[in-house]
Structures are given as C-alpha cells and as structure tokens.
Amino acid sequence: MAIPPGVSQEDFNTALQQFENVVGKDWVFTSDADVALYKDAYTPLWGEPDEIVASAAVAPDNAEEVQKVVEIANKYKVPIYPISTGKNLGYGGSAPVLSGSVVLDLKRMNRILEVNDQNHYVLVEPGVSYFDLYRHIEDNGYDLMMDCPDPGWGSLIGNALDHGCGYTTTPFRDHFDAHCGMEVVLANGEILRTGMGALPGAKTWQEYPYGFGPSLDGIFSQSNFGVITKMGFWLQPKPEAFRKVTINVYNREDIIPLVSIQTYLENSGLCMGLPDFGTPLLSGVRRGSPLSGVRRDDAAGVSAELMNLLGTKGGPPMDELGNFGKQNDIPYWTLDLKYYGPPRVIDAQWAHARENFSKIDGVRFEEDKLYNLPLSENDKDEIHKVSLGIPNLSIFFIGARTASNSDPDDGHIWFSPMIPRTGEAILEAQEFYGTVLRENGINLPGYNVMPASYFRRAFLLLFGFPIRQNVEENQKTREAFRKIVTLSAERGWAEYRTAPAFMDDVMDVYSYNDNILRRFNETLKDAVDPNGIISAGRSGIWPKHLRKA
C-alpha cells in the first residue's frame, strides 16, 4: 500500500481508521486490487515510476460524511482527491494529480434531489450520471430534454466542473454555463452554498445564479478549493421536433463565409443546435467530421485516387484535392445544422438560413427527415443520440480494433486548444497542426483538423494523442505534447482542459504578467485550504508545501 507523501504510516493508519468510522468498513478501499481501479487507463505514464497511483479510496454516502472525511484529512494532512463518477478518459481518468492521494469517491452520492419541469431544472449529487438522470426523466414522463456528452456514464457535476460540453442547444450544452447553484464542502469541513443557496429556505436556488455579493461558483470549477456535493442544472423543455440539415460547399475559401454565416445565425438565436463542421474531402470520408465522433458511414464511397492524394508525403496538394472534390461531388466543407422546435419554426429558420448560405457559390443543401418527439425506438436507432440528449457509449467505437485498424492505440490523451470562431482560424490551424504534428512525430493528420463547436463563441480543437503500453513511445509523445502546447501558445491558442500529466505545462503558458494567474490562484488556495489537502496540483495549483520555487 502506498502512503501519501509527507504523512507518517501511523497518521495514515489513524486517518483510514477514522474514515472507516465515518463511512463504514466497506467503503474504505486499501487493497492494491481495489486501489488500482483508480489508475488512469489511458495514462501517458504507463509502466513508469511516475505513474500516478492512489494510496486508498473512501466513498462517503452524503455531504455530512464528506464533511467528516475532509475534517479527518485536514487533521492528519492527508491529501484527498475528490472524483464524481464516470471515467474521464483522455483527461486523466480517476487518478489524482499527486501520487499517493486518497481518492474521495463520490459515486455513492447519486441522488436526484429535485426535478422541476415547470421551470426546467434539476438538483443532483456528484454520483448522478447522465444515464441516471435520463432514466429518471423518461420513467417519470418529465417534459425535459437533458444535454449529455459522448460517454453517458459521466457525472453531470464532474463534467460541468471540468468545463465539459454536450450536443444539444446553447446555452444548455455548455454544462458549467447551464448550472445554477452549488453546495460545497470546504477544506475545513464547513458547508457553503452558493448563489441563493446561502439564504436558508431559498426558493430560487436553482433559478437565480448570482445571489448577493461576489459570485463564487466559477472558482470551484477546474480547481481544488472545495468538494462539490450538490449542483443545480438548467434543462430545456422537450422540443416538438428535430431536424438536421447539411450545407455542402466546394472551395477551400468557402469555409470563411460558412463559419461567418453560421456564427451570425447562432448569435442571433436563429439556430441554437450544435453546428458540426466537417471536411469530407480532407478526411477522406463522405460526411461527418471524424473529430465530432459521429460517423464515417459513407467511407466506402471514397476512391483510391482520393486516398492517394491524401497520402501525399508532406501533406495533400490542396488545389488538386479541390478539383478532385468538385469533379466527384465531394464537398470540401460541410456544415450540419440542428434545429429543435415546432416544425413551422424549424421550417422558417431553415428557409432563412438557406437563403443566407445560398450566397456561397455552388452551395448544395441536404435535408434529413423531420423527427417528431417523442422519438420512436426506431427513430432512436437512426439518429445521433446525443443530439437529442440520449446518453450512450457509442463514442467508444472510435479507435477500436476494426478490419481496417488491426493495431489500435491503447489509449489517447486529449490535446484541446481553443481557437477563434472564424474560417480563417480553421485554415490557419490546419496549416499549423498539419506541419507541427508531423514534425513532432505525432501520427495524426492535423491538416484536416476540424473544430468542435460546443462552446458558444470559440472553436475547440481536439487531438487524441496516441498512448501505448510502451514507455519509450509515450515519452516521445509527452515531449511532443509539451512542445505543441508551447508552439500553440505562441499563436495565441491555449488549452481549455488537460490531463494531470500536463497541467503544470498548460498553466505555464497562461503566463501574462509573470504568471499572475497561477500566483493569484495560489493566493486563494492558501486562504481556503491552508493545509493544501484537496486535489494538490489540479490545474497547476499546488499547496504551499509542494510548490516549486
């Protein structure tokens, strides 16, 4: 059994005993087999001495037990690492940042405390997964559509605190933005409620987000200032219908008006569904961005000639490619728009959008059928489930072993920079990452990177750097990851989220005014968690005794 750094065996044993007194013997895990479950399955440190392991885990049943566990941890200065539920694959799994921390596993706290389908919100605990909430809504016939990310086993709270996103409409698909009200166990074991929750018997805890005075919620996201035990989320009413349409354009420079018109529509509230940009030509697939993780269903239709062009050493020749696309009716770019609402409103919004996109020379449109809600089981099989807030695990087909991929990676780690929401930025990113990934030995085709549009006003790029059960390869990958973080930062692009292995590196590039952001975060950390027991190192925030000079 590992021991937390800086804690004596005796103190650790005492703390574990006291944890047991609080949560019961069954819910303190210390055996190697149990503790190994909290390792990161996709760790970039596989098999190396630095691979992160927990020393133990403790799973309280409610906020009062969390308070007591935190008090004990504080007394014996035992580092704890709260997790909610789900896997967090590609961003560090369930492993702590500081090896030897005790994982505070909140999976048992899986109560849906309130559902309001008049004002469309829920109040949940950290152990509530998207599957849990979806079942609860459907079983009770609530008039609510939730939003979920790809893997349905994730926690609403965990995902929101990591600034995670889903696939339905703005503002609901930005999960932190759609939250309202938190309950937090502070490092000293006290409970704080944010927003209107600070008013005893508040009637608007899940309706008005700010409360009175400073709005605190943000500092508990991507941080280590407290343990979140309850959180409210705004949901949307179930729409009457859903329709996906596709805009196909054929010239490289068409991406500029394509993005610009979509941005105008979304910022005008005229199409709030997730816009999904793709480049079938550059991806060698008929439709759907590979990065959106949606589908490669028409891949069989791609000719060998295209594959040859794409395989050109040094990157594909864009002019030739463009001509090939026009001759073969393979669009250079596609944009899927998703409409939700009454059919006549969808029709009017789409007619208006169509008119706007018609300004692009040679544009072609495709319209999927209109789905009326509630969906039939057959409908659910046809559609992209998460677009309707239906949690599932189909994302895991990506990178799996297939006929054409007999040697898949053992895992991946996400590199996730934000870039401006413009076509120009997409072109720049393709040129930049097309070169920089190749030059740094990362076998990913960056020249065709397409942005995810989860966030309202900026584009997110997602690169799954391959992880192998091979120490040497992973070391090279880590080195490349760090280098690309730095090179991206020099262009004004940086990551919205990263795995523990790279948190310090990413925080390093947020360096304005001699890294004042990190220094300010540390000032807050010292004030609210003076013993530094919660999630040491998370987002590059270390407690005083572990801080580098």
134 is catalytic: no
Tell me 392's DSSP state. Answer: B
Residues in Cβ contact with 241 at an 8 Å cutoff, skipping those fewer than 6 apart: 340, 341, 342, 343, 346, 370, 371, 372, 373
Our CB check for a copy of itself shows the closer of 110 and 206 to be 206
Is the CB of residue 73 less than 8 Å from the CB of residue 52?
A: no
121 is catalytic: no
Instruction: Work out whether strand 112-116 and strand 121-124 pair parallel, antiparallel, or are unpaired.
Output: antiparallel
Is the CB of residue 100 less than 8 Å from the CB of residue 6?
A: no
List the catalytic residue out of 91, 130, 371, 433: 91
Residues in Cβ contact with 166 at an 8 Å cutoff, skipping those fewer than 6 apart: 147, 148, 149, 172, 173, 175, 386, 389, 454
The closest of 224, 141, 157, 99 to 518, measured between CA atoms, is 224
Q: In angstroms, what is the minimal distance from the CB of 142 to a copy of itself?
A: 13
State the distance between the two ends of the chain, measured CA to CA, in whole angstroms: 30
Is the CB of residue 45 less than 8 Å from the CB of residue 501?
A: yes
List the catalytic residue out of 173, 497, 518, 538: 497
For 525, the 3-state DSSP assignment is helix
Our CB check for a copy of itself shows the closer of 269 and 314 to be 269
Q: In angstroms, what is the minimal distance from the CB of 36 to a copy of itself?
A: 29
Our CB check for a copy of itself shows the closer of 126 and 181 to be 181
Our CB check for a copy of itself shows the closer of 217 and 321 to be 217
Q: In angstroms, what is the minimal distance from the CB of 38 to a copy of itself?
A: 23
Q: In angstroms, what is the minimal distance from the CB of 475 to a copy of itself?
A: 24
Q: In angstroms, what is the minimal distance from the CB of 311 to a copy of itself?
A: 32
- Can you tell me the distance from the alpha carbon of 453 to that of 332, in angstroms, rounded to the nearest whole number? 18
Our CB check for a copy of itself shows the closer of 237 and 362 to be 237
For 218, the 3-state DSSP assignment is helix
> Which amino acid is it at 120?
H
Instruction: Work out whether strand 191-193 and strand 227-234 pair parallel, antiparallel, or are unpaired.
Output: unpaired
- Can you tell me the distance from the alpha carbon of 192 to that of 528, in angstroms, rounded to the nearest whole number? 12
Our CB check for a copy of itself shows the closer of 161 and 321 to be 161
Our CB check for a copy of itself shows the closer of 141 and 269 to be 269
Q: In angstroms, what is the minimal distance from the CB of 340 to a copy of itself?
A: 8
Tell me 38's DSSP state. Answer: T
Q: In angstroms, what is the minimal distance from the CB of 169 to a copy of itself?
A: 6
Alpha helices per DSSP H over 359-470: 377-382, 423-439
Cα 87 to Cα 37, 42, 95, 137, 139: the distances in Å are: 11, 10, 10, 23, 25
Our CB check for a copy of itself shows the closer of 200 and 314 to be 200
Q: In angstroms, what is the minimal distance from the CB of 379 to a copy of itself?
A: 20
Our CB check for a copy of itself shows the closer of 344 and 545 to be 344
Q: Which residues pair with 245 in a beta bridge?
A: 337, 367
Residues in Cβ contact with 424 at an 8 Å cutoff, skipping those fewer than 6 apart: 256
For residue 354, the tally of other CB atoms under 10 A from its CB is 15
List the catalytic residue out of 134, 173, 496, 518: 496
- Can you tell me the distance from the alpha carbon of 314 to that of 439, in angstroms, rounded to the nearest whole number? 10
497 is catalytic: yes
Q: In angstroms, what is the minimal distance from the CB of 58 to a copy of itself?
A: 23
Residues forming the active site: 91, 496-497
